[in-house]
Structure 1
Amino acid sequence: MNGRIIRGRAYVLGDHIDTDQIISAEHLKLDPSSPDGYAGLGRLAMCGLPDGFPPFVDPASGTSPYAIIVAGDNFGCGSSREHAVIALGAAGVRAVVARSYARIFLRNCVSTGELLPVGCAARLNEAVRTGDEIAVWVDERRVGTPDGRVDAPIEPVGELAGIVEAGGLFAYARAAGRMPARAG
């Protein structure tokens, strides 16, 4: 997370973005534990968005030029599939800034370590535009644009940032000595 600052271009969405919009159920056969399956999920991230949204993934690179998703309420609602979080991480997303999250989506972010879920009470999805440069200053508890046009407080992320930085819950627990290292 580069000094606890996450920077990148924003991709802006509305309220109630569900896991079917993030990755359609027909693609759940891809195995995220294989390199090809992981990359395939990244290439398909946001494939279920309705027409009218700008492309999320660059077809040439298979990754997204957007490191931060900015959304409204109830991001990641729908099914409990980890594939949704993994698809976003595989595409290159490092954080989602939303007013609220579906509980299971937030837990999947933490357990997989793919991306940091950041809460923000402000309706940033009405102030930021897709393609804007944006930064999340994790330790300063704020999010905004480098030019200062947008600057809003975020909810404290506490230990979540360390868990995501470590690569997920199990990696964090191993690094903290809370569970034995893997053999071998």
Structure 2
Amino acid sequence: MSWKSKLRGRVWNLGGNVDTDQIFPGYAMAAPADKFKEYALAGSEIPDFAKKVQAGDIIVAGENFGCGSSREQATVALKEAGVGLVIAKSFARIFRRNAINIGLPVLVCNMEQLGNGQEIEVDLVSAEVTFCASGEKISGTILASNVLETLEAGGLIAKVRKQLGGRT
């Protein structure tokens, strides 16, 4: 996925305290990496999410998104399934860092009032969220410049490679 500072997508609202077992269930840990996307949110209230998600869709959640284990596969599964962005009132620290490290944008913003299927546009640089139907705008927490640089590079490994001038 190439870097886009503005994202537009359809919302999937998941509520609060969505843990990594809901995002990527323990039984999926034995799956080959190229199949992770098939298990995205399989343990959640939307177990068939992987079949319904469209590229660029946006997950909106309440507090503590990604709590539980430090399961890196949870972020990979969401990104590989096509999720373009996760917006939550708050994130588990390790989940947030894992997402940024693989180039999956995450934004802190209270968006719980949104319903499934609504369309929003998000400017990651200004952290401004626009409700496409009404034009209403709200602001999230602005991402630090180093986070934006990491996302723009496509993740932490890509950022380091870029900084090293292509050397591996």
Query: Would the TM-score normalized by the shorter structure come out above 0.5?
Result: yes
Q: Which residue of 1 aligns with 2:139?
A: 153
TM-aligned CA distance change 1:28 to 1:163, over 3 Å? same
RMSD (Å) for aligned C-alpha atoms: 2.0
Q: CA deviation at 1:139?
A: 2.0
Question: Where does the alignment leave 5 or more consecutive residues of structure 1 unmatched?
Answer: none
The alignment partner of 1:57 has SS state of helix
Aligned residues: 165
Q: Which residue of 2 aligns with 1:108?
A: 98
Distance 2:142 2:152 in 1: 16
* TM-score (structure 2 length as normaliser): 0.89
Question: Where does the alignment leave 5 or more consecutive residues of structure 2 unmatched?
Answer: none
Q: As a proportion of its length, which structure holds more helix?
A: 2
Residue 136 of structure 1 contacts residue 143 of structure 1 at CA under 8 Å; is this kept in 2?
yes
Q: CA deviation at 1:14?
A: 0.6
* Aligned with 1:138 (options 124, 139, 155): 124
Residue 13 of structure 2 contacts residue 112 of structure 2 at CA under 8 Å; is this kept in 1?
yes
Letter in 2 for 1:119: V
Q: Which residue of 1 aligns with 2:62?
A: 72
Residue 18 of structure 2 contacts residue 65 of structure 2 at CA under 8 Å; is this kept in 1?
yes
Q: CA deviation at 1:7?
A: 0.9
The alignment partner of 2:59 has SS state of strand
When structure 1 is superposed on structure 2, of 133-142 and 149-158 the one drifting more is 149-158
* TM-score (structure 1 length as normaliser): 0.81
Distance 2:128 2:96 in 1: 19
Which runs of structure 1 show a deviation greater than 6 angstroms over 4 or more consecutive aligned residues?
none
Residue 41 of structure 2 contacts residue 47 of structure 2 at CA under 8 Å; is this kept in 1?
no
Q: Which residue of 2 aligns with 1:17?
A: 18
